[in-house]
Structure 1
C-alpha cells in the first residue's frame, strides 16, 4: 500500500514541477535543450569587424556584379523604378496620374495582355464585363464595385493602379502577382470595357457598321 502512496506523491510533485511555475517571471535565461541555431556567430548590418582591414562588416559590391532579376533589356529606370507615374501611379506632388504614363505602347497586344490578366485575377470578383457580377457574388460577396458607374469612369487611371498595387477595403493588393506594366494593361482593358458598355453607333467605324444588327 505504501508504494501506492509513494507513487501518488511522486505524481503530485511531478505535476507541480511541470505546471506549478507556468507563467512565473524569472531574470534567468530559459534552459535551452535544443537551441535550434537561435544563437549564431554573425555580423549585424553596419557592425564592426576585426577580420577586414577597413574594419567594416559590410562589404562593397564586387565590380561587375549584376543584380538578380535584371537583364540587358531592362532599362535603368525600370530597375530603379524612379518614374513615379509608371511605377506608383502618382505624380511627384502625390496626385494620381490621369491617362497612361509615357513609355507604354498602347496597342491591341497591350490591351489583350490586360484582358488575359483581368480574366485571371479580376473577373472572379468584378465579372467578365466589369459589372461586379463575378462568381464570388454567388457566395455572398455583394459589395464588389461596378466599373460602369460614373465614379469609376471618371476615376484617374493612377488611382486604379494604386488600388491594384496596394488593395482597398476587403480587396488585397496584387503587386506580387501583376508587374507594374501588367497593372496598366489591366487598366487599359477596364477602360475598353467601360467604353464598350457606353458605346454608340458613332463609335463604330463606318466600314464596320454594316455588320451590326
Structure 2
C-alpha cells in the first residue's frame, strides 16, 4: 500500500514540474515586440483589406435614397423624435430644450444651410457638430437620410412663395 501511495505521489509531483502552460510569454496590447522589424506588437492590416460589410456600409452612408412620400413621413417622425427638441418643429432652432437654457442651434433656413449639400446634413447628424452630439448610435443611416429629406422639405416649405405654387392662389380664402 505504501508503494502505491508513493508512486501516486511521484506521479502527481511529476505533473507539476512543467509550468509552461501557466507561464507563457505574451505581448501587452500595443506593447513593444522584438519579434517584428518595426518593434510593434500590433500588426498592420495587409494592403487592400476590406472588413466584411464595409463596402455596403459605405454605400449606405454616401448614397441617399430616392425621395418618396413614405421616406418623408418616416423623416418627419424621426425628426420630431430626435431633432425637434432643439431645432423646433419648423427648424428655426426654437425647440423646448432651447427654451430651458440650452444653446440655440442654427436655423435650417439660413442661406448657408439651404445651400449645404445633403451629405453635409447627414454627416452632422452622424458625427455631431458644435454642442450637438453624434446620433450615429441612435439613428440608423436609413433614418438619417429620411431626416435629411424632411429637413429639405422644411426648408422648401418655409421659403415657398405664392409664385412657386400658382394654383394655390385660387384655393386660399
Structure 1-normalised TM-score? 0.53
2:72 aligned with 1:111, yes or no? yes
Judging by fraction of residues, say which structure has more helix: 2
**Match of 1:148?**
109
Give the distance between the partners of 1:132 and 1:211, measured in 2 at CA.
Answer: 31
Distance 1:137 1:161, change over 3 A: same
Residue 83 (structure 1) shift: 6.1
Question: Residue 86 of structure 2 contacts residue 104 of structure 2 at CA under 8 Å; is this kept in 1?
Answer: no
C-alpha RMSD over aligned residues: 2.6
Q: Which runs of 5+ in 2 are unaligned?
A: 1-25, 30-52
2:97 aligned with 1:136, yes or no? yes
2:143 aligned with 1:211, yes or no? no
Residue 162 (structure 1) shift: 0.8
- Which runs of 4 or more aligned residues in structure 1 lie more than 4 Å from their structure 2 counterparts after TM superposition? none
**Match of 2:136?**
175
**Match of 1:189?**
150
Alignment of 1:1-213 (within 5 A): 79-82=53-56, 84=58, 86-87=60-61, 89=62, 101=63, 104-204=65-165, 206=167, 208-213=168-173
**Match of 1:28?**
none
Distance 1:209 1:83, change over 3 A: farther
Residue 86 (structure 1) shift: 3.6
Number of equivalences = 126
- Cα deviation per residue 1:73-119 (whole Å; 9 max; x = unaligned)? xxxxxx544464541x4xxxxxxxxxxx36x2311110010000000
- Helix, strand or coil: the match of 1:172? coil
- Helix, strand or coil: the match of 1:129? coil
